[in-house]
Every structure is written in C-alpha cells, then in structure tokens.
Structure 1
C-alpha cells in the first residue's frame, strides 16, 4: 500500500509543482511577516528593589530597611542570591533568581512579599519600588538640542515629538530623558528669620495654610442651590512673595519676601542629558514586542522626517540610536552569508555530480529554507542573528539527504532498473539511514536546549532551527527528490576513476595492511591535539561586534551633580579631539537610557555619569578593533584626569561580569578592607590586568549633631523641634505647590545656610514655649567620618574586587595566577568567591558537557536499534575524537579561543561526523550481506560511498565559509571548529573506521542487540 502511495506521489507532476510553488510563495510571505530583531530576546532573572527613607544615614537604612527586605525576600521560591547597597536615604537590593525558576510566577510572589514587607518598615519610608524589567532596551534614541533653546522650550518641542511618534503603529511608548523640571525655591535668610521670631516650621505651616482650597459648600434660596467658592491657591510667584507671615506691633504686615529670596530653580536631582557637548533632551522609544521592527522602523523614520522638516532650522535633531538600522545591517550581513553559502554549496554539488543530479539535489536547499520560514512563523521564532546563523550552519547539511537519495537512485538506474523501480528502491535503501542520520544531528544539537539562564535563552533558536530545517530537508528528500529524479534522471556513463578516489583507495589498502600502525598514529595525533588544548585561551562570550563603547564616570563619593558634571566635561573635551569618535551622548545623575540589552544596572546618583560613544576605529590607522581603541582611551583618560574613577568599557555579548572578579565576604569591615587592598595589589602585579578596582565603602565626612536632652528640655525644645527645623534648613521641605497652566510646581522651603558656623547659629524655636535659641546652645557638633554606602552579598558584608584585561590576555590565566599568589597568603575572617568569567565558563561548559554525554547515550541507543549491534555504534563513535583533532587544529591555526560558541560547534559536530560514519557502516554491512569478506567489504563501501561522503562533508563546510570569513567574533570560532573538525574527521573516517571495523568485527560473531 505504501509502495503504491509513493508511486503515485512520484509520478504526479501536478503534486510536485503545487508543492514547490506553495512552499516558495508561503515561505517568502512567512519571512516577510516574521518579526525581525538584531539579537534574541533575553529575560534577565534579576529584580531591583528600592526604597527611600528620607534623612536616614546609610547605617540606619541598612538596619531598618535593607536588612528587613533581604530577610523577607529569602522566602521567595527560586531565590538564588541578593546584593544590597545602603546609602544616605536610599536602599537598593538586587535579587537574582535561580536559572530554572519560573520568572513571572516568582515576580508575582515577590510583589506580595514586598507588600507585606512595607508594613514592617519605618512609617517615614516611601512605598517600595520594584523593577523586574531590567533587560528592556530602547529601540530608538533621538537627541534634541540647540544653542538658542532653554530647557523649557526644548521640553515643549520634545513633548510634541513624543506625542506624534507614539501614534506610530508598533510603538509601545516614548519617554523624555533629561527633562529639567522647574520648582520654586523659598530660600530663607537665616539672620532675618532669627530677627522675625519665627521658625522654619512655622513658615512651612503658613505656606501650607495659605495655599489651600476647602469646598465651603452651598446656600439654598427659594429652592435654588448656589455653590460658594473661596479662591485660595497661589497663582503666581507674586502671590508667594506677598504671603503675610506676621504683623508688627504698629500694624505693618511682614511678608515672606522680606526674609526670603523666592525664585524659580531647576530640580537638582533629575538626570541631565548632553549630546556632543551640548545640553540636550533624549527621546527614548520602545517597540512592541511582537512587531516586525523593520516595518515599524520605516514608518517611524517617515514620521521623524516629517517632524524634522516642520521643526525650526536651528533645532538639532540627531539620531543617537535607531535599532531598525542595526537590525537591517545585521540581517543583511547574515542573509548575504546565507546566499553566498547557498551559491557555494550548489557549485560544489554541480562539480561533484552530473548537472541533472546536482540541480535535483540542490532543489532541497531553497525548499527546506522556505519550509523552515513557514515553521518559524507558526512557532513564533523570530528572525535574528542566531536563527539566521543556524540556517547557515545547517545549509550544507540540507542538501546531504538529497545527495544520498540522488546517489541511491542513480545507482539503481546504472544497474538497469526502470526509473520508477530505481526511485522506489532508492527510497527503501536510503530512508532509514537518512532518518537515523537526521535524528543523530538533531540530538547532537539538543544539549543547547538544556542550557539555563541567559545563555540558554540567547541560543535557544539555534537547535530549534536545526530541528525544523533538517525535518524539512528529510521531507524534501523523501518525496520531492525522487519525484524530480523520476522525471530527469537517466543512466550515467561509467564514473571517472578520479585521483582523489584512487588516493583514498590506496590509503585504505595500505592502512588495512598496517592496522595497528594506523590506529596508533591516530591515537598519537589525538593526544597531541588534546595537549594543544592547554595552549588555547578560554572565553565565555566575546564582546559585541558593534561600533559602540561606553564610559562609566564615578566622581568622588559625596560629589554633587555639579561637581560630577565638571568631571564629565573634562571627559567630553578629550573625546571631542579624537577623530575616531563620531558622536557621544552623556548623562549626569544616571546612566544613558539603556541602549544595549546586556548593559549592567547602573546607579541613579548625583556622583555618577555615563557616556555612550559611537566610534569607527578603522577610520584612521591607529586601531584595528574596539579593544585597541578602548585601551587607548582608558590610558589617555587616566593620564589626563586624576579625580574620580573613569572606566572605558566594551559592550558584552552576554550579561556581563568582570573578566576577573573576586567577592570577599565577612563580618568585620576592617578585615574586608585589608583583604581587598592586598588582593588588588596582587592583581595589579599580574601582566594583562587593567582597571583594578573594588566597590568597597568609602568614608565621607559628616557633621554629627547630638542634642543635650536636659538643656533642651529646660527650654521646652523637643528632639522633634531640633531635627525638623534643622532638616528644613539644610535639606528643605516641599511646603506646597504652585498651579499654572495645568502644571504643578513644587514650592521648596529651605534656608541659605552653607557653613558650619551658620548652622550653629540657626535659630531653633520651641513649639511649646515659643522660645528661640541658637542651635549651638542645645547641641554638640563634631566632624565624624561616615560610610558612603554599606554593601552586602546575601546578607553578609561584602566587597567585590574586579579587573578588566588588556587585549591579547586571558581572564582565565590571570585568575589562575591570582589564585597561585593568594594560596600562600593568610586572610583571616573573610571568605573568597571567584565570580568572574572563568566561573561562567566552568558552569556553562560543565552543563553542556553533561548534556552532550546524555545526547551521545541517546545516539548510541538509536544506533543499536538500527544496526542490531552493541559494537558497531562504538566503532561509529570513534569519529568524535577524529573530529576534535580537526577542531582544535583549526582554532589553533586561526588563533581563535576555545569560546563557548566554539565548544557548541564541537558538541554539534558529533552529529555531523557520526552521520557520515552511519552511512559508511551501513554500506559495509550491506557488502558483507552480499558475501564479501570484511576487508573487501570495507574497500567496496568506501568506493561506493566516497562521492556522497566527500560531497556531504564539502557542502557542509563550504556553506560555513562565509560565516567563518564574516569577522563575527561570536560565530567565527564556531564555524572554524565545525569546518576543520568535519573535514579532518571525514578524511580519517574513510580510513580509520574501516580499519577498526575490520579489527573488531572480522567475522559475524559480534554481540547482537
């Protein structure tokens, strides 16, 4: 019955034509509809919990807020660890989930826990803030600037742009970054305040009482209700200035302006933005998750161009980031590699087979890719660098099934079978080996499925595409290839006995005569390859291939925003003189809006600034790559600027940790500090280390004001009077608001005190006795050091020591040398945790290795079922060390590190080399079934399978050549590992596998499954 169905399919030209046309049309349409992005979406299982405790010291914040939050979140299912930072008035806790934790369920439970935790915090604390979307990245950043525009005018323009751009379909939202909001400052002259007899608290209460509207109700006359309204709100600055705060004995009103300077000011705590050295506003846009970013980007650019044309000529509208351009450029590069690979593979097939056979076999490539696009659309797999790279990786494999089928059918025709009979016999002969080989490759890629966390999410589409495309290739080989062969194939002429075939026949013959020598030679080569591994650098993920750098600027602890901005201006001045720096975008008080998914979380603090640089290192002749330019800029900044801590950083492909990072934990801070200083000194001695630093707490000076309770009580002054009036004088207080044109502006009351002497003379008034005395009469004031921040890891005091590395050096080797240096050093009272790149390598390489071993066991089980033997699968497995020889050789020749992607290439390579061995062993068994002796059967199988095996290997490798030459630091090691591993394994497979087979299975006495 099955034979009859297959005969009808093969003979039906209408079915084949419809299938091909539908596949091409629906495949292209699916590609058009598929969402496109630069990189896969990765959700960071990290949450940031923050809380403000106004006026509290770092110690108070840590004890009364941070400690409570840390204790409660440990109850969260899936909790891994937490890091906390307690500073003046603010607590920040970063929570990391375990890799296998259900993220959304965990965040919902965390919200419930934090809701309960709020009740345990001091009543003065503001509501706890939770941010679980730390990986969200801007899709577009536009800078608005102009020399003739003040902040208010820029804000009006930005709001107009924002409203128009948010109307574009596919845009989630736009935000304005760097907007300076105004407020009214009521700065009290402390000497006039003392003369007035009033306190800051009383002024505060007067402002609140005067700026209020209480609904008075209504009167009813003759059945008609008339509402009563009593205006009471401030409407202008004059209203505030003329607020009456008292009346003199002779009846003269005393107004607020008599003792205060009242003016408009900008709020000092809001982040500021700059573009190319000018004050600016940044419009930051975010795309909807499931949209085709290229289509949305086109509409967005059209609208942006309209806005530019409508804007005044002196308004500068600059594109800081436009992700659709990046996606388009990236996809163009990968699709070009894909197209080049397709052309190269087809050329190889044409050279290796007759033109009819080659065209039939090559048809499998576009059909399989189109079917893959259809499946991607149905499964929601987006077009991005990993999914396209996956298609490039399997490109040469897609044609393998068709090559095997074409070869099997051609052999039948050459034997004199009719076309239909040759097609059906070829199907029967090749279907199971092809299916087994396809399953083996799929299983070889399956370990990537089990990778946890961000690496697993990042690479998830790789095995998915391999699975989809190989299944599509199998369907094409089983149905379309025989149908096309039925129409176009004819018996071939006698095959040419080419020199390469003769060479391998000779090599196999000689190896059969010297079996032990051949095996010992292979073992020796493999041992040398394994030894060569010790000379290779290890790498987790490389830095991103983007023409971007960023600079983190940490001003001295306690610096104001003004002082931090001064430091930023020095950095900008240096950058403006570098020709390779095309543009730079800066922020003061926080990080630049997140412009790349793996950027770490940065603090929002007045002593922090960040610069994003768009660069072109190759523009001059000074730099070959981003690393060299970053190293140059770092050295220049270090030599020119001594204040603060300025670090030039590369964008990382994975969520970043420092290349070398050591976490020191313990109870006593002094022990931590001593250990950190010692470790830093050791690390600085190691060649290749750079930017060695720690995040230990820095001490800043504070004025400690301690009340004399007895003296204050005698004067009727409470502790509240002292603290409240001192806080209003120095920190200020939001007394009320001014409402104008639909906007609300805060009214901040504070004094003009700016020295210790003025603080000592601050008049403190008793709320009970109404008596006023200078502050110095009821308190003691002394200067004492205070920690600027208290840092903890999992509830323990902690310091991180970290180091970047110079180009050409290995983080792994530096960490190993550091361990050697510390092995003989006593570090009492502390524990050390190495938490840098090497830990990520060990963790993820270990997981992948265990998964690969499980995959090999599953492959072995499948092979046992196919060959009904326990020994033959072991013979097939000998191709794996042969492949590793080639991979290691290739990586060494091209000076590539053993990166995580190269390791993935080696793991997935096992399926490719086992595939060829399966086909070879199957034909050896077939020859033995026909009565040939074992050695003759081996030679016959190599003779018969030479062309498809060589073609299979060459097509698989040639398809990867464009990727290997692409210059991508992410994919080049993977491509080289597969290319060299497959070539070497294929060449050795046709010699070593028959030799071992003949040794282990000389007669039909092997153990049967």
Structure 2
C-alpha cells in the first residue's frame, strides 16, 4: 500500500520536474521566513532543576546580621512546595580576607534543588516575587543554574581610565539596563562602597624625624595586623604566631594617636601624616590594564537573543565620558561565541560530507543532489521548534549538526540503487521509478526508527538533562520528517533533470560527430571521378 501511494507521486515528480523544484523552492523560502520568529538563547533554563540565589547586604554588615537576613529568605523558601531542598552559605571568605575582616560577611548564597516536575522558570518568578516583599534583607538576585552557572545572566563590562569616569559610566550603563524590557535584578559591583581610613604621609615632616613613607606604612600595618614571628603546631594543625603590641585602632581618632618610634622619641602619627576617613569601592578590577566595572542583570525572557539585541541598541544611545567604553559579556558573549563556532562546524560538516560523496560516486553533480536534503531538514527543525515554543540554542544547533550526517543517508541509498539500474541499461525515468519503489520502505523504516527512538527525549522524560536533550531531539525529529519526505520527491526530480540533460548533451555530441564523419565520407567519394 505504501508503493501504491508513492508511485503516483513519483510519476508526477519525474514528469512535472520543474513544478516540483518550484514547490521545493517555495518551501525553502517559507523556512527562511520562519527563522526570524525563532527565540534564541544559550541553554534553555526550563528543563533545569536547580536555581541559585545571591543575597548582598550593605558593605560592612556583620556576619550575624547577614545570617539573620538570610534566615528571612530561608523562611520564604521553605514555604514554596516546588523546592525540594536548599542550601545556604553565609559569609565564607577565606585566606587573608577572612583573617582581617573582609571575608564576605555581608553576602549569602543559596543553592536550590527543585522537584522533578517543577518548572524552573515559574519557580524562579515565584521566588523573586516573594522575596521582593521582605524588608532589610539587602539586594537579592535569582537565576537558573546552580553552582555559579547562570544561563540568563546578562553582563556589561565598563572600562575607564580613572575611578571617577568609571563610576559615572557605570551609573549610566546601570540606568540604561534598568530601562530594558524583560530585565531584572540589575546590579553593579561599583554600587557599594565602604568607609576607609587614608593616611597621607607628609614626606618632609617624616624625613625631619628620620622616618620614610614606607617605614610609616609598615608600622601602621603592623598595628592592625601584628607581626608574624613564627609557627606553632598544635596536634596536626600548624598555626601562625602573630605578635601585637597594642590593640588595633577602632576609629580615625585612635589612628591619629598612634605612636611612631623615632630617634628623638615617639611621635604621634598625626604629626607626620594626614589621617582622614573616605568612601572607597569594595573591590578594584582591571581588564586589559584598564579600570573596569561590571553591571549584571537577569533576563526574565527565554528569548535571550532578542533581549541582548534590545540591550545593545539601548547602550548604543548613551553618551559615556571620554575614554570610557563598554562591552557585552555574560550569557550574551557565551551565546555569540557558541553560535559562531557551531555555524563554522556546520559548514565544515557539509564540506566533509560532500568530499566523501564525491570520492564515492566519482561525480561532482550527484553529491550536490544529495546535499539538497540538508537545507530542507531545517524546515522541519525550525517548524517543530516554533510549534513547541522551544528556543534555538546550543543543544538545537548540535541537533542541526547531527542532521547533516543523518539526512543524506536516505538520499545516498536511493541514488545508489538508481545508479545500479542505470548501469544495467535502464532508462532514466524507469530507473528512478524502480529505485524509488524499492527503496521506499527501507528509507521510511530508517527514519521512523530514529524518530521513535528520540521521542522519549523530545517528551522531556530524560531526567535532569532535559534542558539539553529535548531541543536536540525536537530538531532531529522535525528535520528527519521533512527531509525524508522531500528526499522521496525532490531527489528523483533533480536526478531526472540532471541525467536527462546529460543524455541530451551526449546525444547532441554524438549527432555532431556522426554528421562530421558522414560529411567527410561524402567529400572523398565526390572527388574520385574528377580526378
């Protein structure tokens, strides 16, 4: 019954060849028209089962106050049924920062694990709405992808030659990002500042007392940190031994009263330096040697490509201070790099497949006919992504890469059998009809086996990796459906056009050769009686 359905189609495409090609061209144009409607992202967050939450308290907040604020957030998380477990880390600074009081006591990080059936995007919105109603909990950002990997985090890196210009440019960029649709949780790592004590040494006064700027700085530093004098082993643990002569100053006034030893006797720090309290940034960052700041935001839409494009247009309209610049980072840069690499991989895959088929078929034309299946695989892939509302991301592009090797196999087995019939002396149309009839069932069986094997992935029942496997499966399934159908119709039409054209060219060449031979014989026969 399959052949009874297919043979009339095969007769039509081998007779109305250019009509078939025209229909295929319209399908291809429609595919191109659908592409701009696709949403694009880096990795789809809807299939993930983890969320991350960052809580930032005002700079200098004590660990106890941060812990109390984090407990308020914990109470909210405990009331959300879709959250299976959560883990919170308050503070967590290590090394020198922790030893001298800068160990991140004003920050807390949460890692949330969701139920298997939970929608990460919906839960993310629920968490954001509920924590927004809390008071005195600092600044909270919510994003998908636990463990520090966030598939929806937008970043704008701002650079300037000095701190004042950097602060101005950072504020302008932050205001611009806040005005972009589908963007929330906008923060800047320059938005926080902490009070600092600045000691400006009067070099002439210090030199008169036999002190240098470096010596004064070392003495002040030892007052706060102490002087390491050795190590002590307690059990299996080794600890540093630090000698402190006085308690560390707690106020600028106490810093001014620090006693500095000189050959003429101790003097107050205020006699050789100006001590003042200033506001300073929490951190200093440089990119390629230039002072830098990062404005971070979370995209609430799955269409990261459209959000990034709108953000770029908005940033193009701002007037930054002279010497200041910005560049897009975060998921925008990750997506651009991944798409560029995968597009290059797609081109290389097509080239490799073409070279292999040229060597196999010993022809340049027939491999081109086989590669016609590749662009029509995009028809089903794009269509199924649109129907299911799935964004085009890295997993989907990997599926496209797989399709290049999969879809040409059906065309190969069809053309190979047709060529065998042609070698046995069959005519072009007869060989196409017979080859198509006999290869119909194997082609459909191969495609159906692959499609049904991918159905579990397409339905998202593959567990935590669904955010990768589902788009890939949808692309391969949709591409196989359309490429198989068009292979069974378009490839026979193109093969008939090419081979009929080749036979006509060969026939004309043979007729010209015959006319040339017959003309030469007539001239020779006519010359003999004259002689």
Is the alpha carbon distance of 1:992 and 1:705 closer, same or farther for their aligned partners in structure 2, counting shifts above 3 Å?
A: closer
Deviation at 1:815, TM superposition (A): 1.6
Deviation at 1:768, TM superposition (A): 3.5
Q: Distance in 1 between matches of 2:402 and 2:309?
A: 29
1:514 and 1:834 mapped to 2: Cα distance? Answer: 52
The 2-side partners of 1:654 and 1:982 are apart by 36
- Could you give the per-residue CA deviations for residues 348-404 of structure 1, whole angstroms, max 9, x where no partner exists? xxxxxxxxxxxxxxxxxxxxxxxxxxxxxxxxxxxxxxxxxxxxxxxxxxxxxxxxx
Q: Does 1:903 align with 2:402?
A: no
Select 1:992's aligned residue among 485, 490, 493: 490
- Answering whether residue 472 of structure 2 is matched by residue 974 of structure 1, we say yes
Is structure 2 residue 190 aligned with structure 1 residue 682?
A: no
Which of residues 779, 784, 787 is equivalent to 2:281?
A: 787
1:981-1000 C-alpha deviation (Å, 9 max, x unpaired): 11221122111111111112
Is 1:870 equivalent to 2:364 in the alignment? yes
Work out the CA distance in 2 between the residues paired with 1:550 and 1:789.
23
Quickly say closer, same or farther: Cα 1:679–1:642, change in 2 above 3 A: farther
CA drift at 1:529: 1.3
* 2:350 pairs with 1:832: no
Question: How far apart are residue 813 of structure 1 and its match?
Answer: 0.6
- Secondary structure at the aligned position of 1:614 is classed as strand
Q: TM-score, normalised by structure 2?
A: 0.82
Q: Decide which of 415, 420, 425 is 1:926's aligned counterpart.
A: 420
With over 3 angstroms needed to count, the CA separation of the structure-2 counterparts of 1:730 and 1:935, relative to structure 1, is same
1:639 aligned onto 2:138 = no
Equivalent runs, 1:118-157 vs 2, <5 Å? none
Find the residue that maps to 1:959 and give its secondary structure: helix
Selected match of 2:30 from 512, 528, 533? 528
Deviations 1:97-152 (A, max 9, x none): xxxxxxxxxxxxxxxxxxxxxxxxxxxxxxxxxxxxxxxxxxxxxxxxxxxxxxxx
More helix by share: 2
Cα deviation, residue 680, structure 1: 2.2
Question: 114, 122, 134: which one pairs with 1:615?
Answer: 114
What is the CA distance between 1:646 and its match in structure 2?
Answer: 2.3
* In 2, Cα distance between equivalents of 1:563 and 1:748: 30
Q: Which residue of 2 aligns with 1:823?
A: 316
1:280-429 matches, cutoff 5 A: none
- Structure 1 residues 565 and 732, CA, compared in 2 at 3 Å: closer, same or farther? farther
- Seen in structure 2, the aligned counterparts of structure 1 residues 955 and 567 have a Cα distance that, compared at 3 Å, is same
1:668 to 158, 162, 186: 162
Deviation at 1:978, TM superposition (A): 1.0
Inter-partner Cα distance in structure 2 for 1:781 and 1:513: 95
Q: 2:243 & 2:173 partners in 1: Cα distance?
A: 47
The change in CA–CA distance for 1:970 and 1:812 in structure 2 (over 3 A counts) is same
TM score, norm. by length of structure 1:
0.45
Distance in 1 separating the partners of 2:353 and 2:209: 89
Q: 1:617 Cα shift?
A: 7.5
Q: Distance in 1 between matches of 2:444 and 2:319?
A: 60
Whether 1:885 aligns to 2:379 is yes
1:712–1:843 Cα change, 3 Å: closer
Q: SS at 1:896's partner residue? A: coil
Structure 1 position 914, deviation (Å): 1.0
**Structure 1 partner of 2:306:** 813
* Rounded Cα–Cα distance in structure 2 between residues aligned with 1:811 and 1:571: 28
Cα pair distance change 1:716/1:824, threshold 3 Å: closer
Distance 1:724 1:653 in 2: 40
Question: Contact 2:42–2:151 at 8 Å: present in 1 too?
Answer: no
Give the whole-Å Cα distance in 2 for the aligned partners of 1:786 and 1:759.
18
For the 8 Å contact 2:93–2:103, the answer to whether it is kept is yes
Quote the Cα distance in structure 1 between the aligned partners of 2:411 and 2:147: 36
Q: For residues 207 and 24 of structure 2, what CA distance do their matches in structure 1 show? A: 94
Q: Which stretch shows the higher mean deviation, 717-726 or 676-685?
A: 717-726
Compared CA separation, residues 981 and 751, structure 1 to 2 (3 A):
same
CA contact (8 A) 2:144 2:152 kept: no
Give the C-alpha shift of residue 903 in structure 1.
1.4
Post-superposition shift, 1:734? 4.6
Instruction: State the distance in 2 between where 1:761 and 1:591 align.
Output: 31
8 Å Cα contact 2:93/2:105 also seen in 1: no
Q: Secondary structure at the match of 2:293?
A: strand
Q: Secondary structure at the match of 1:751?
A: coil
Which of 119, 123, 144 matches 1:625? 119
Q: Would you say how many aligned residue pairs link Structure 1 and Structure 2?
A: 492
Q: Where in structure 2 are there 5+ consecutive unaligned residues?
A: 95-101, 507-531
Measured after TM superposition, the shift of residue 792 of structure 1 is: 0.8
* Native 8 Å contact 1:869 1:1006 kept in 2: no
How far the C-alpha of 1:800 sits from its partner, in A, is 2.0
Q: Does residue 512 in structure 1 map to residue 14 in structure 2?
A: yes
Q: 2:197 aligns with which of 703, 722, 728?
A: 703
Q: Helix, strand or coil: the match of 2:444? A: helix
Structure 1's 712 and 702: CA in aligned 2 closer, same or farther, altered over 3 A? same
SS of the aligned residue for 1:649 comes to strand
Contact 2:432 2:492 in 1 (8 A): yes
**Contact 1:587/1:611 (CA < 8 Å) preserved in 2?**
yes
Aligned: 1:801 with 2:287:
no
Question: SS where residue 522 of structure 1 aligns?
Answer: helix
The SS at the match of 1:687 is: coil
Aligned partner of 2:528 in structure 1 is: none
Residue 551, structure 1, aligned to residue 53, structure 2: yes
Q: Are 1:754 and 2:253 an aligned pair?
A: no
CA deviation map 1:878-931 (0-9, x unaligned): 111221111111111211111112112122212222111111111222222333
Residue 850 (structure 1) aligned with residue 358 (structure 2):
no
Whether 2:89 is the aligned partner of 1:587: answer yes
- Distance across 1 between alignment mates of 2:16 and 2:376: 19
> By how many angstroms is 1:752 displaced?
6.5
Q: Are 2:442 and 1:940 aligned?
A: no
Could you tell me how far 1:954 is from its partner in structure 2? Answer: 0.9
- State whether residues 544 and 652 of structure 1, in contact with CA within 8 Å, keep that contact through their aligned partners in structure 2: no
Asked if the contact 1:812–1:837 (Cα under 8 Å) also holds between the matched residues in 2, the reply is no
Mapped partners of 1:823, 1:744: distance in 2: 56
How far does residue 526 in structure 1 lie from its aligned partner after superposition?
A: 1.4
Among residues 445, 448, 453, which one is paired with 1:959 in the alignment? 453
- Structure 1 distance, partners of 2:332, 2:418, is 45
CA distance in 2: counterparts of 1:868 and 1:737, whole angstroms: 78
Cα offsets for 1:421-463 (capped at 9, x unmatched): xxxxxxxxxxxxxxxxxxxxxxxxxxxxxxxxxxxxxxxxxxx
- Kept in 2: contact 1:582–1:615 (CA 8 A): yes
Supply the distance in 2 between the matched residues of 1:904 and 1:577 (Cα, whole angstroms): 39
1:19-56 deviation digits (Å, cap 9, x = unpaired): xxxxxxxxxxxxxxxxxxxxxxxxxxxxxxxxxxxxxx
Summarize the Cα distance change of 1:953–1:778 in structure 2 as closer, same or farther, 3 Å threshold.
closer
| Cα offset, 1:628, TM superposition | 1.8
CA distance in 1, matches of 2:68, 2:229: 31
Higher relative contact order at CA 8 Å, sep ≥6: structure 1 or structure 2?
A: 2
Write out aligned runs for 1:470-549 (5 A): 498=1, 500-543=2-45, 545=47, 547-549=49-51
